[in-house]
Amino acid sequence: MIDSHFPFKTALVTGGGGFVGSHLVEELLKLNVKVICIDNFSAGKLINLEEFKDHNLLSLVKADITNFDDIVNHFKGVDVVFHQAVSKNTVCMKNPRLDLKTNAEGTFNVLEASRVHGVKKFIHASTGSVYGEPKYFPEDEEHPTNPVSFYGTSKLAAEKYCLVFKNLFNMNVSILRYFHVYGPRQEENDYGGVVPIFIRRVLNNEPPIIYGDGSQIRSFTYVKDVVKANLLVASHANNTNGEIYNCASGLKITIKELANLVLNKLNREYINIEYKDWKPGDIRHFDIDNSKIKKIGMHFDWGFKDGVDNTITWLKNKK
């Protein structure tokens, strides 16, 4: 359990206005941790933090991690950093240069600010995209990293910077590679995820669109489990030092199963799924080995149906 053992008093969350970051902020506040949230709100939204924006333990800082001078002083007195800020433009191939700047240089700045102020633990949010085309299944943390996108490449550079800070400055860092995170507050646009996209379309009486035959498998992981993994790694600060963990539920859900589940949950089975051509570059199959993170006590609590239910409820009530 995390609650009574959480070892840090002050946390800094970059990208705290975004999807995963806002859930982290929420859970840290529940643990009575002082939280500094840095976000430039390029993708993040104040509404994600609406419920706790007046919380006396929360400081909201609008700043850009690509500007070192603007962020460095906010790291003073911080015990643990959860680095979530990201640019995902190249997921849609729109702005690879911004991904490079935010994800590689921005991560360097966040690491350097942490070093300057003697942060005790640094947890970096990475992605399964660093692996690229699977060479074997299940993919464990030793799997070769050959990202096929600019996004994955910039995120791999960020991982490497983390490890260099550990090696050169003895910084205590851990890397969590997330996969197909979903849940409330995830965007329904191109930068968001397939779960809210399908739910929104079906709520609007539009068919879910599947690229290919729908047999592609995803390891959907509920956002609260991702937060739990972050808090667990923070709680095991020393024996997780320098380690990389796959942070995936281990579920294997096809996109067609997802579409049918959403149609069923919303009582719209009369809508026919629309099929379009397979998108080149999309990875067909995910089978992720999560045994390493389980060895430090992680249990993925959330079943897929419950997670989808919560996401539907949130989207129905979204203003």
What residues make contact with ligand NAD under the rule CB under 6 A? 15, 17-21, 38-44, 64-66, 84-88, 102, 106, 125, 127, 155, 178, 180-181, 193
Q: In the bound complex, what is the minimum distance in angstroms from residue 205's beta carbon to ligand NAD?
A: 26
Is 136 tagged catalytic? no
Q: Residue type for 74, please?
A: H
Is the Cβ of residue 40 or residue 170 nearer to ligand NAD in the bound state?
Answer: 40
| Cβ closest to ligand NAD, residue 83 vs residue 236 | 83
Q: Quote the CA–CA distance of 4 and 207 in Å, as a whole number.
A: 46
Question: Which C-beta is closer to ligand NAD: that of 68 or that of 211?
Answer: 68
Q: Tell the smallest beta-carbon distance from residue 21 to ligand NAD (Å).
A: 6
- Alpha-carbon Rg for the chain, nearest whole angstrom, is 19
* Closest CB 267 distance from ligand NAD, rounded Å: 27
Strand pairing report for 217-218 and 253-254:
antiparallel
Strand partners, 274: 209
Check 131, 136, 151, 270 and give the catalytic one: 151
Least CB distance from residue 67 to ligand NAD, whole Å? 8
Could you tell me the smallest distance in angstroms from the CB atom of residue 180 to ligand NAD?
5
**CA–CA separation, 168 and 162 (whole Å):** 10
Query: Which helix (DSSP H) or strand (DSSP E) does residue 222 occupy?
Result: strand 221-222
Give the integer Cα–Cα distance in Å for 90 and 83: 19
Cβ closest to ligand NAD, residue 5 vs residue 53:
53
Nearer to ligand NAD, 17 or 147 (CB): 17
Give the catalytic positions in this structure.
151
